[in-house]
Amino acid sequence: MSKPRNYQTEAIIIKKVKLGEADRILTFYTPSLGKIQGVAKGVRRPRSKMAGHLELLTYSTVSLARGRNLDTVTGSQTIDSFLPLKSDLELSSYALYAIELINQFTADSVENQPLFQLLLETMRSLCLKSNSEVILRSFELHLLGLVGYRPQLGCCISCRLPLEPVPNYFSAPAGGVLCPACSNSQFAVHRISVNAIKVLRWLQDNDLATAEKLKIDRELSRELEGIMRGYLHYLLEREVKSTAWLDTLKG
């Protein structure tokens, strides 16, 4: 059965690219269609009625018409503009980082409703302007779980024995933690503290609303960021571009 020419979906705008003098190609993350693209014609003109509903980091209802190569956006209406994310540079950087990860880790047109829900909850949590670093770590871990790269934190990835409460080693190539005895069996291992493993496990096992209540000190926060950044870099085989802006804002 052929698909209807016109369709509508909820979507979070995760990427935009200029096209010609007045158009824009938009990448949407949707609950039931996964990642899709559409061209918004004339959206860069000052009088465009759709422009405000199709900004980056906006949750909208979008109407599209199927095209031969690229679908065309025919209408849009904002559900949530996430205004705090657009009026605060630091929050903007966190949110842009999150949508970049969604874009990098997903293929086109692959439905992943839990991942859409995770992104939506992350945007809403960041809007509350509290505990953003912990929210990002929770987002990263749940994202990785939903796309098939959940790190092994419960036992040694090599010998499978439970981890002792001593400094162990995280290996991105192995996809988890190695005990001291097995740490030489893999290259590119990094020491990981007892508290870091505890926090990462706890974030894996709890939802975002619970996670954002967790308070951690700056030193532990930096350790967790380094571990997750190294793992993401290994999986993507490139730096996440928005981390440069994150680092600049942190000074």
Single pTM value for the model: 0.95
Q: In residues, how long is the chain?
A: 251
Strand-pairing partners, residue 162, are: 155
pLDDT at 1: 61
User: Which residues are CB-neighbours of 49 under 8 A, at least 6 positions away?
Assistant: none
Contact 125, 208 (CB under 8 A): yes
Instruction: Please state, in angstroms and rounded to a whole number, the distance separating the CA atoms of residues 35 and 110.
Output: 7
Question: Which domains are seen in the chain, by residue range?
Answer: 6-81 (2.40.50.140), 84-250 (1.20.1440.120)
Instruction: Please state, in angstroms and rounded to a whole number, the distance separating the CA atoms of residues 241 and 238.
Output: 9
Instruction: Please state, in angstroms and rounded to a whole number, the distance separating the CA atoms of residues 72 and 120.
Output: 24
Instruction: Please state, in angstroms and rounded to a whole number, the distance separating the CA atoms of residues 39 and 41.
Output: 6
Instruction: Please state, in angstroms and rounded to a whole number, the distance separating the CA atoms of residues 15 and 175.
Output: 29
Q: Token digits for 71? A: 């679908």
Instruction: Please state, in angstroms and rounded to a whole number, the distance separating the CA atoms of residues 50 and 22.
Output: 13
Q: Please identify which residue in the block is written with the tokens 């705008």.
A: 13
Q: What is the pLDDT along the chain (251 residues), one digit of tens a residue?
A: 678 899 999 999 999 999 999 999 999 999 999 999 999 999 999 999 999 999 999 999 999 999 988 999 999 999 999 999 999 999 999 999 999 999 999 999 999 999 999 999 999 999 998 899 999 999 999 999 999 999 999 999 999 999 999 999 999 999 999 999 999 888 789 999 999 999 999 999 999 999 989 999 999 999 999 999 999 999 999 988 888 878 887 76
